[in-house]
Chain A
Amino acid sequence: MTALAKEKRSSGPAAGQVPANDSSGLDASGQHSLLRFITCGSVDDGKSTLIGRMLYEAGAVLDDQLDTLDADSRKFGTQGTQPDFALLVDGLSAEREQGITIDVAYRYFATEKRSFIVADTPGHEQYTRNMATGASTADLAIILIDARKGLLPQTRRHSFIVSLVGVRHVVVAVNKMDLVGYDETVFRRIVADYREATKSLGFASVRFVPVSARDGENVMRRSPAMPWHDGPALLPLLETIAVAPERQGEGGFVLPVQWVNRPNLDFRGYAGLAVRGRARVGDAVTVLPSGRASRIARLIGAAGEASNAAVGQAVTVTLEDDVDVSRGDVIVAASSSVPAGREMKARLLWTGERALLQGGQFLLKLATQSANATLEVLHHSIDIEGFRPVPAQSLRMNGIGFVSLKLDKPVIALPYQENRELGGFILIDRISNETVAFGFVEAAAGEADAGGVATGQLARLRQTLIRTVGRSGTPDRRLWLAAVSWRLLSTAGLFLAAWAVTEQVGISAVLALGDIALRPLLRRLHALLWRERADSALQDGAGI
């Protein structure tokens, strides 16, 4: 047994009490809450060391892995005889040899309060696309800053990319505080610099923690070396931080058809992952882009035959009518608006080795749709250190630009801000088959292409109304009618009861109307009382 493993077994902070992969922490809905986050920052800021340290402190590094770490640290380590926690995550030989992170690594660990999926992403500019990949599925980003160096160009680049892919919460970990003598003024200056630099990026929350990843200061518990820091240590902060709830449930049902399941003549199902809303058997739907209408006949979910399905579920639907549907078509609730068009305005993160030029032709993949895309206009590129548009003739690797694309067939898309699945796409080089760009839809033009798609203020009003009362003939409408009739009946009952006692129409009417008006108000107040409390500092601007 090695020294490290021994120390862990006897006095390690979490050994024995918090086993790895424990999931006793449940959220309010009785489910284990999950936080997906990434670490990013410049080269040698200590990202991998920090993750290795967090895994270790959370008890997620098991004894045989600690033994391996001990041996590896002596062979490849950069910390002398001390364990080099970066070696827990840098899994490729090339990474160990060079002591850098090349590719994104996903690690899984849990504390008693929360479980985590962390993507450790590379700091080198050359590997920015791997960093963006990690960010694309994250709820939160930890941005590391070396206390000795302060903000670097890469800090600004990563902050911008994080905001581009829609990560709304940032924790800035000012690392290597041990090397600046745990000096509060150094920390304060970096906090001020970062706030100033990123104020235009629109993060919902930005928090700061001074740490020393190598020594574990302010990682698991508050550091006695930095008594001036009044916030929580990093891991406790991640355990409690509230990230904005997913909003993709809003709006009507959308199912991009992934595969047509046709085992025999009697069954034709359309399989895919629902990316918005919910559906019930009997719901009226439209198939885009053809605009054909039908109703849902059967719904098959992961657990078999179902009466309804919701966003995030892998489902197979059958329709009442024999309409022609194939992969790439999109089945949407008849009440919903999803535009289809042959033109698209988007932001691109260019990941190809060769520069993007005007007129370039690519294969675009968005959800399950594919189309040939031509770069019609490169409007400008974005200087991702100053976050300003600059005129550009081309985009080099890791550059970001705003473009217009022309498509050879209608593509059904939504702005990325509204829906990631229908707003995020990739461009593929048709010769090398490489993924050369990540795309973020800003606006899909040519909305008139879609059959019966509603636009404008009036249509939006109508949709809001439909969302509330349901479409006629659907279960939603029945539910709404049932709720209304129950409310009217109970009010009438109260009126009669009051009248029977008081024999005064006025008093009875006031009571009954008060019941109608007051009850929802009281219910809302009561719900407010029982609402789960988020970290107060997160409330401002978080939209919670």
Chain B
Amino acid sequence: MIQLSHLQKLEAEAIFIIREVVATCDKPVLLYSIGKDSAVLLHLAMKAFYPAKPPFPLLHVDTTWKFREMIAFRDETAARLGLDLIVHVNQEGVKAGIGPFASGSRIHTDVMKTQGLKQALDLHKFDAAFGGARRDEEKSRAKERVFSLRSPEHRWDPKNQRPEPWQLFNTRKHKGESFRVFPLSNWTERDVWDYIALENIQVVPLYFAAPRPVVKRDGAWIMRDDERMGLLPGEVVESRMVRFRTLGCYPLTGAVESEAASLTEIIAEMRSSRSSERQGRVIDHDGAGSMEQKKQEGYF
């Protein structure tokens, strides 16, 4: 009898979910957000269809405020794997001058991320979108199904979700409805890093500690990635050894001071950490239930 390890079980489950989408949906897409979870998701998709390539493109909803290293990594990854990459920017938002500094995190995230995502899904008529979200990230995500049904307006109805017994997914939907699918639902942050180490998966270098130009703002270390970030009175740019536990728009993502420059060190640091990975995410702290609110509006 071959006994599968915990990670092997998670891997098999995720591959099964990815294949189930391709077998039952018309036009899937993988929402590639460039972070570590996306990296694992993409790696699993490559496995699921080997020796063929994944029969769906990658979609990146670019808010135009991502770290430059993320964009470089994104383009390099798509080229290396030979996959189609669709980059979508909400041009209306750009025209209206929306940005984290000008409009605040809430409006910026809504317009550039949530609305941008909905535009892209509608434009290309995707009926299923993979995301790398995990249930351990946040309380309302813990209630999310693996196959999360969205209305034609992309709304999530948390009170009326389909039951998902065993690994049996009801993949039926009406015209216009779509699924958000989360193959990493049952993974924890720890599982993700263990798997990255085990499978030697490439991730954006921002996860590893290095001296970076940062500014202390509202109690968080914000990396000044380009000139668009003006300095407030009294603020100075310092060079500090920092790294990121999650990656998003650079003005909204707090760095942690760390010496962890390798996977082993990151995993060791995480094991002794007393704060959650999303602590550095400004958008999660816009009030209790704010993630749920965003999800209902169509956010991943």
Contact = CB atoms under 8 A, between A and B. Distances in A.
Contact of A96 (B19, B47, B289): B289
A291 interface: no
Contacts of B162: 434-435
Interface residues of B, number: 62
Nearest to B9: A312
B55 to A, nearest CB: 9
A96 B19 CA distance: 36
B9 A9 contact: no
A258 interface: yes
B188 A75 contact: no
B271 A351 contact: no
A31 B3 contact: yes
Nearest to B293: A93
Given A21-B189, A103-B161, A132-B163, A314 B48 contact: yes
A330 to B, nearest CB: 15
B127 interface: no
Interface stretch (A209-217, A375-383, A423-431, A516-524): A423-431
A132 B164 CA distance: 9
B109 to A, nearest CB: 18
Contact of A327 (B23, B161, B163, B288): B23
Interface of A is mostly: mixed
A431 B154 CA distance: 20
A300 B50 contact: yes
Contacts, number: 183
Contacts of A88: 139
Contacts of B4: 310, 312-313
Contacts of B188: 21, 108
A31 B8 CA distance: 11
Nearest to B164: A133
Given A108-B188, A312-B4, A438-B163, A91 B9 contact: no
A438 B279 contact: no
Interface string B124-168: 000000000001101111110000000000000011011111111
Interface stretch (A59-67, A177-185, A405-413, A531-539): A59-67
Contacts of B53: 263
B11 A314 contact: yes
A22 interface: yes
Contacts of B136: 107-108
A64 B275 contact: yes
Interface stretch (B94-102, B169-177, B201-209, B225-233): B169-177
B51 interface: yes
B274 A433 contact: no
B11 A302 contact: yes
A106 B186 contact: yes
A96 B288 contact: yes
A425 B168 contact: yes
Interface string A60-85: 00111100100110011000000000
Interface in A90-135: 90-94, 96, 102-108, 115, 117, 129-130, 132-133
B3 A19 contact: no
Given A261-B49, A261-B52, A136 B166 contact: yes
Given A136-B165, A363-B172, A273 B51 contact: no
Contacts of B186: 106, 108, 117
A352 to B, nearest CB: 11
B200 interface: no
B158 A62 contact: no
A115 B170 contact: no
A424 B166 contact: yes
A278 interface: yes
A179 B289 CA distance: 32
B264 to A, nearest CB: 15
A228 interface: no
B50 A91 contact: no
Contact of B275 (A63, A71, A365, A420): A63
A438 B165 contact: yes
Given A273-B12, A434-B162, A91 B292 contact: yes
A259 B25 CA distance: 12
Interface in A32-46: 32, 34
A57 interface: no
A258 to B, nearest CB: 5
Interface string B270-289: 11111110010000000011
B81 interface: no
A103 B4 CA distance: 30
A456 interface: no
Contacts of A76: 288
Contacts of B20: 258-259
B3 to A, nearest CB: 6
A70 to B, nearest CB: 12
B170 A259 contact: no
B255 to A, nearest CB: 15
A530 interface: no
Contacts of B47: 302
A137 interface: yes
Given A108-B188, A258-B20, A130 B166 contact: no
B59 interface: no
Contact of B274 (A15, A96, A105, A261): A15
Given A75-B288, A273-B16, A433-B173, A424 B168 contact: yes
> Which of B12, B51, B190 has its CB near the most chain A CB atoms (within 10 A)?
B51
B288 A259 contact: no
Given A21-B271, A75-B288, A91-B142, A426 B168 contact: yes
Interface in A253-278: 258-259, 261-263, 267, 269, 271-273, 278
Given A91-B143, A249-B1, A426 B49 contact: no
Contacts of A504: none
B6 interface: yes
B283 to A, nearest CB: 14
B16 A314 contact: yes
A312 B136 CA distance: 23
15 contacts: A9-B274, A62-B274, A63-B275, A76-B288, A92-B292, A129-B163, A262-B52, A273-B16, A278-B1, A312-B4, A368-B23, A421-B167, A428-B172, A433-B170, A433-B172
Interface of A: 9, 15, 19, 21-23, 29, 31-32, 34, 62-65, 68, 71-72, 75-76, 88-94, 96, 102-108, 115, 117, 129-130, 132-133, 136-137, 165, 249, 258-259, 261-263, 267, 269, 271-273, 278, 300, 302, 304, 308, 310, 312-314, 316, 327, 351, 363, 365-368, 420-421, 424-426, 428, 433-435, 438
Interface of B: 1-6, 8-9, 11-12, 15-16, 19-20, 22-23, 47-53, 135-136, 138-143, 158-159, 161-168, 170, 172-174, 185-186, 188-190, 270-276, 279, 288-289, 292-293
Given A108-B186, A273-B16, A435-B162, 10 more contacts: A15-B274, A19-B273, A21-B190, A88-B139, A91-B141, A93-B292, A107-B135, A130-B163, A267-B52, A272-B16
Closest A-B pairs by Cβ, 6 of them: A91-B139, A263-B52, A314-B15, A21-B190, A136-B165, A310-B2
